[in-house]
Amino acid sequence: MRVVSGKCKGHPLKAVPGNTTRPTTDKVKEAIFNIIGPYFEGGLALDLFGGSGGLGIEALSRGIDKAVFVDRDGKAMKVIHQNLESCRLEAQAEVYRNDAERAVKALMKREIAFDLVLLDPPYKDQKIVSLISIMDQHGLLKENGIVMSEHGVDVELPETIGRLVKVRAENYGITAISIYKYEGEGTEWQA
C-alpha cells in the first residue's frame, strides 16, 4: 500500500493489523481519484471509515487542505496516526475514534460542510444510504461536493439519495465505487 500521486507519491502506508479492515488497493484508489480529481485546489475531506487512512491521505497528497478521519477501531486509530506522521500530514488532519453515525452527529453540531466525503465501510455493514441521507439533510456536504462510496459489487446503491444523484458507478473485481453529487453538478460524469 502506498500513496499513488501528489506531494506524498510513492510513500508507503502501513495497513491495520488483522483482518478487521480491508484496505483499498492502489489500483482502485488510483481509479477513484482519477474520477473525482485527480487533484484538488484545497477543500475539506471526511474519511468516515478511515481504516489505515489511505483514502484521506491520498486526498491530502492531491491537494485537499484538511481531512477529518474517523474509525471506531483502536488499531486503526494508531495506524492512521502513524501514516499521517510518516507522510508529514498531521497538521492537516483531525483523527477521531468513533462510530460513523455518532461521528456524523458530532460533525453536524460543528456545522462543518465537506468538499469530499470518502465512505469505505465494512462490506458486511453497509449503512451507506442512511449516512449519505443524513449528511444531505444536515448540510454536511457543500453544494459542489462529492461523495465517493466503496462497496461490494453485490450492493446496488440507488440512483438518488436525498438531493444527491449517482453520477458514476464502476466495478473493480469484488469492489464497486459509486460517486454522488448534487443534481446539476458534474453532469459531465454521467454515463
The model's pLDDT over 82-117, given as tens digits with 9 standing for 90+, comes to 999 999 999 999 999 999 999 999 999 998 999 999
Residue 33 inside a domain? The answer is yes
Residue 1 inside a domain? The answer is no
Contact in structure between 143 and 182 (CB atoms under 8 Å): yes
Residue 3 inside a domain? The answer is no
Residue 155 inside a domain? The answer is yes
Q: What residue type is 106 in one-letter code? A: A
Contact in structure between 92 and 56 (CB atoms under 8 Å): no
Instruction: Using the CB atoms, write b or e for 98-133: b if 16+ within 10 Å.
Output: bebeebbeebeeeeeebbbbbbbbebeebbbeebbe
The model's pLDDT over 35-56, given as tens digits with 9 standing for 90+, comes to 998 999 999 999 999 999 999 9
pLDDT at 187 over 90: no
Residue 170: phi and psi, rounded to 5, are -140, 150
CATH number at residue 111: 3.40.50.150
Residue 182 inside a domain? The answer is yes
* pLDDT attached to residue 106: 93
Nearest to 71 by CA among 87, 94, 42, 90: 94
Rounded to whole angstroms, the Cα distance separating 115 from 86 reads 25
The model's pLDDT over 159-182, given as tens digits with 9 standing for 90+, comes to 999 999 999 999 999 899 999 999
pLDDT at 124 over 70: no
Residue 16 inside a domain? The answer is no
Residue 15 inside a domain? The answer is no
* Domains of the chain: total: 1
- Please give the C-alpha separations between residue 64 and each of 40, 129, 168, 180, 188, in angstroms, as whole numbers: 6, 25, 21, 18, 22
Rounded to whole angstroms, the Cα distance separating 136 from 53 reads 24
* pLDDT attached to residue 183: 77
Residue 137: phi and psi, rounded to 5, are -60, -30
Contact in structure between 161 and 132 (CB atoms under 8 Å): yes
Which residue segment(s) compose the domain that 118 sits in?
Answer: 26-189
Classified as helix, coil or strand, 102 is helix
Residue 4 inside a domain? The answer is no
Mean pLDDT for the chain overall:
90
